[in-house]
Structure 1
Amino acid sequence: MTEKMKTTAPVSSVGADGAQPQLKNYNEIIANETAQINLQAAQNPEKSGSGGLQTVSMTELYDTLYPPRTPVVDGFLYGGTYLFVGAPKVGKSFFMGQLAYHVAMGLPLWDYPVRKGTVLYLALEDDYARLQRRLSGMFGVECADNLYFATQAKTLNEGLDKQLEEFLKEHTDARLIIIDTLQKVREVGGDRYSYSSDYEIVTKLKSFSDKYGICLLVVHHTRKLESEDSFDMISGTNGLLGAADGAFIMHKKKRTDNEAVMDIVGRDQPDQELTIEFDRERCVWKFKKAETELWKQPPNPLLEAINNFLTEDKPEWEGTATELVSQLPDMQIQANVLSRKLNVVNSQLLNDYGIFYDNKRGHERKIILKRLEPRE
């Protein structure tokens, strides 16, 4: 988010009448469907030590430009595989429908900016008639043409990954796939509830989300036993959370309460605890408060300098690192250091400033900078 989340924030409209924000779609530049986060094995297959272990040196690590990680919902949900966990009938499916609609429409979710993109919702415990009634009650009959539903899918060992791959080939701007629920896609038979089994199934899902640069949000249930740590209430073993990029836990003090607490933990976003309230008339969740403010990275002088360098009259630039250093005289930085710093912070440059960065290999390595949205 561009600003810190306030501890008490006004409730934004969560229906179809909300104003659509400026879209941040970078898919014409970044091919999400082929973006892999861990590329060192593919890029350096010949580099191996004794026993065939593929390695990358620290120098190579810094000199490699990896695909930027763009949020689905700024400060809330990122690319990767996440668990969304709650007790039965706590309101998970209503929130899944709300999240799916907002991402497909590009509407802010409460105070969180949303990056618009195609959404696939595998509502495997529903039927189409129930989905129709639920969504029309939430959003009326204004449709999101890029929100797709399926009520049946294969399990992971039957070929779910192939089904999802075909969908992504047809919808290259997809950002989010919701699987509701994990139980419907996990392998049948065998040692289903061991740590290794739980870890393996989420690892498979994470490999898929990383390969295609999308977010997989997997709905799951809590166990019946209470715990002081809400994340210990995830049904199954610690292998599920251990392999995931993060988790959301929705819980109520009493089942009949309208208020719920959503605990959030993840690798790419700060831990949060949100209090939300269910609007029974509109069947949507509204934001009430956040227990902690979102931490915001301090301004980066290099990114600020590049943001000022690209003007409305000159939104694009291409040249060597040495030439870029000469355009930023106040930075006092060496060319090779400049390239490495930009490799490290390219996600922040894209997400915070709307500037795409590439480092083309060739006879003479060239830096490409391109502003993808108007400067604020």
Structure 2
Amino acid sequence: MSDPVPIPIAEYERGSKKTTRFIRTNTTTIMATVFPPIRWVVPGYVPEGLAILAGRQKLGKTWLAIDWALAVACGGIAMGAVECEQGDVLYIDLENGHRRIQRRIETLFPDMRHRPDLSRLEWVGEAPLLNNGFLDALDDWRLSVAKPRLVVIDVLQRVKPPGNANQNAYESDYATLAGLQRWATEHGIAVVALHHTKKGGAEDPLEALSGSNGMSACADTTLVLDRDQNGVTLYVRGRDVEEKETALKFVGGNWTLTGEAADVRRSGERGNILVTLEEAGEPMSPSDLSHVTGMKNGNIRRLLHAMTKAGEVQKTGRGQYIHPEKAVEKRSSA
């Protein structure tokens, strides 16, 4: 069954007064409707609709967006692990220019003999503002290609019009992106807009976006690329996306998924504890390890308990821990 056709909004006469009707759809009709499945462009990360990819400057957002663009244009693999359906891609690059684009592609595919067919990936170097012909230009592209699937805007700030003096920042940002979000949703195309995060970050990744919360509120999906002492992570949350945080590795222009961020972070913290115990001249308490590593005392206590059960560290005395190799050396010298 196709989507139900709602009663259109219409004015009708009630006496001498015109009244506007709501569009109403019965719950039974909605529940009986068979909707098409969500169209994934990068499965698990980027569905159809408007997505914002945010991160600090020089962290590699453009390389990640190019990775997605190439995977879709070639029907290849994104981030070394995610298979993408082939389609047409428009990359609106407003910062780099064709020379730098060429260098990036050559970095990713240095041997021309093994370079895939990239003809379904097109580039744009100039674009009007979102409120001044941008959507018309997008629609012209959509109608000119066989299978439009992905648009990348690098960066959003270059096509974002000035704020409206009659609106607060939230209202202005939401209104600015609303038309782009409707266009992407209506046509089943993913639009990924690159954006920056605030200095200092935030407790909630969505609060880290530069500007007001109107951006993440309007977007269907928000992705935040970040780096901490344990490496780089990609956080994703959205209307049609299961919230998750994944660890990535960046080598030679290529982003590669390395696992769930929590698992990788836990592994990195365990490694930090082992290195610290190995370098220590004597057993250490959780407080000692917290002071040296900068990790939270509670986290260290939980990890030490698990590591002791796994034989990764040994407990010696009350609340003191030692690297297993140090324990062997101690027994050998006794």
Same fold (TM over 0.5): yes
More strand per residue: 1 or 2?
2
Question: 2:51 aligned to 82, 86, 103, which one?
Answer: 82
Verify the 8 A CA contact 1:76 1:112 in the aligned structure 2: no
Match of residue 104 from structure 1: 73
Report how far residue 187 of structure 1 moved.
Answer: 1.1
Match of residue 181 from structure 2: 206
Match of residue 357 from structure 1: none
Q: What is the 5 A alignment of 1:45-56?
A: 45=8, 51-56=20-25
Match of residue 275 from structure 2: none
Question: 2:155 aligned to 181, 184, 207, which one?
Answer: 181
For 1:104, the aligned partner's letter is: A
Question: 1:226 aligned to 194, 201, 208, which one?
Answer: 201
Q: Confirm or deny that 1:126 pairs with 2:100.
A: no
Q: Deviations over 1:81-112 (max 9, x none)?
A: 11100011111011111110011111122332
Q: What is the 5 A alignment of 1:1-376?
A: 43-45=6-8, 51-109=20-78, 110-140=80-110, 141=112, 142=115, 143-188=117-162, 190-191=164-165, 194-253=169-228, 259-279=231-251, 282-291=252-261
Report how far residue 205 of structure 1 moved.
Answer: 1.3
Cα distance in structure 1, aligned partners of 2:177 and 2:109: 32
Q: Deviations over 1:169-217 (max 9, x none)?
A: 0113011101111101111353487000111122211101011111011
Query: TM-score, structure 1 length as denominator?
Result: 0.62
Cα distance in structure 2, aligned partners of 1:73 and 1:94: 15
Verify the 8 A CA contact 2:9 2:20 in the aligned structure 1: no
Q: Deviations over 1:6-51 (max 9, x none)?
A: xxxxxxxxxxxxxxxxxxxxxxxxxxxxxxx9x65x6532789963
Cα distance in structure 1, aligned partners of 2:98 and 2:259: 34
| Structure 1 residue ranges, 4+ long, deviating more than 4 angstroms after superposition | 46-50
For 1:179, the aligned partner's letter is: I
| Structure 1 residues 91 and 52, CA gap change in structure 2 (3 angstroms) | same
For 2:183, the aligned partner's letter is: F
More helix per residue: 1 or 2?
2
Report how far residue 287 of structure 1 moved.
Answer: 1.6
For 1:58, the aligned partner's letter is: T
Cα distance in structure 1, aligned partners of 2:70 and 2:198: 29
- Aligned residue pairs: how many? 250
For 1:61, the aligned partner's letter is: I
Cα distance in structure 2, aligned partners of 1:43 and 1:147: 38
Report how far residue 116 of structure 1 moved.
Answer: 1.2
Verify the 8 A CA contact 2:221 2:239 in the aligned structure 1: yes
Unaligned runs of 5+ in 1: 1-36, 294-376
For 1:117, the aligned partner's letter is: G
Verify the 8 A CA contact 2:9 2:22 in the aligned structure 1: no
| Structure 1 residues 243 and 290, CA gap change in structure 2 (3 angstroms) | same
For 1:120, the aligned partner's letter is: L
Query: TM-score, structure 2 length as denominator?
Result: 0.69
Report how far residue 138 of structure 1 moved.
Answer: 1.3
Report how far residue 59 of structure 1 moved.
Answer: 2.0
Report how far residue 145 of structure 1 moved.
Answer: 1.1
For 2:173, the aligned partner's letter is: D
Q: CA RMSD in A?
A: 2.4
| Structure 1 residues 222 and 46, CA gap change in structure 2 (3 angstroms) | closer
State the identity as a percent: 27
For 1:278, the aligned partner's letter is: F
Report how far residue 125 of structure 1 moved.
Answer: 1.2
- Once structures 1 and 2 are overlaid, which stretch shifts more, 235-244 or 45-54? 45-54
SS at match of 2:31: helix
SS at match of 2:83: coil
Match of residue 296 from structure 1: none
Verify the 8 A CA contact 1:193 1:237 in the aligned structure 2: no
Unaligned runs of 5+ in 2: 13-18, 264-334
